[in-house]
Amino acid sequence: MSRGGTKLTLTDNDTNQISSAMDTPPQSPDPTLLLPRDSYYQLIHTLRAALPPPVIDSPEDLARRDNAAIAHVASLLPATADEASVAAQLVAANAAAMDCLRLAQEHRGDPKLFLKSNAMAISMMRQAQTARTLLQRVQAERQRLAADGAATDKATWTEYCAIWLMTDALGGARPAAVAEPPPPAAQPQAEEPVADPNAEAEQYAILHPQLAAHIYALGGLPETVMPGLDPTINPPAPELVQAIITGNSPALRALDTSARQQSG
């Protein structure tokens, strides 16, 4: 089967992968970069509990603090659950060091408290540096074992997935702690939420990049049974398939980039 003049061949491994018939191997996201949702859920909520209070005690500043921590963890490019855990330790230690420096400035008039806070800041800075060194060592070992190295597009995909999964675990793009109102005496029957094919396609492309790339490359579901994708057993809904083919989100645009690289 072909699309855009490129012959597509399916390899039989843990996930469906689209391979070009040309000598250049396809550039597709490494499946190991897609970390389990539960790992990031646990990671970000544990990290939030370890961070100093926000600048101002308000939901908006709490959201800014959480988003800054998410951006910091993601910028460290964790590609496994182990790397993500070490990255979170680095972020927590760095935040604690900065908070100790703030306390030292607040107690400049008290030599004892000033020296104690300053010493704590230095200790936490050392812990942050130790975590950074460990993370770099773990990442270097992973890259050494990888046959194809760490390409820039893979690093970008890793950071995108890290940000998406952590913010999704907090329930939205701007996480904030908001007190839940007391439950009312009686609740009317809630309406069924309206499905959003574009959002479902985005999530499908992130969780199943190889399957989504295959659907995109073919312009629809395959006509015959393939490993991991049987069009006769629980196939994606037509609306979802169409959204994968025509979507314009970052994850779906990556499918188009992958297809162009294969055809090139």
User: For residue 74, is pLDDT > 70?
Assistant: yes
CA distances from 183 to 177, 186, 187, 188, 192 (A): 18, 8, 8, 12, 20
Q: Which tops the pLDDT comparison, 15 or 217?
A: 217
Contacts of 173 (CB under 8 A, 6+ apart): 167
pLDDT cut 90: percent of the chain above it: 36
pLDDT of residue 248: 72
Q: What is the mean pLDDT of residues 69-95?
A: 94
More confident residue, 102 or 229: 102
Q: Is the pLDDT of residue 17 over 80?
A: no
At 169-220, the pLDDT tens digits run 777 544 444 445 556 666 556 565 566 777 777 777 777 677 777 777 777 7
Contacts of 227-230 with C-beta under 8 Å, sequence gap 24+, read: 227/10, 227/12, 227/16, 228/15, 228/16, 229/16
Flag whether pLDDT at 166 surpasses 80: no
Sign of CA dihedral 180, 183, 188, 189: positive
> Torsions phi, psi of 230, nearest 5?
-105, 115
- What is the Cα–Cα distance from 8 to 153, expressed in whole angstroms? 22
- Alpha-carbon dihedral 41, 44, 47, 48, rounded to 10 degrees: -110
Whole-angstrom distance, CA of residue 54 vs CA of residue 167: 18
- DSSP-assigned beta bridge partners for residue 20: 8
pTM here?
Answer: 0.47
State the pLDDT at residue 159: 65
Give me the chain's average pLDDT, please: 74
Q: Is the pLDDT of residue 81 over 80?
A: yes
Answer with the residue of higher pLDDT: 47 or 158. 47
Handedness of CA 197, 202, 204, 210 (dihedral sign): positive
Rounded to an integer, the average pLDDT of 121-133 is 96
The distance from CA 39 to its chain's CA centroid, rounded to whole angstroms, is 11
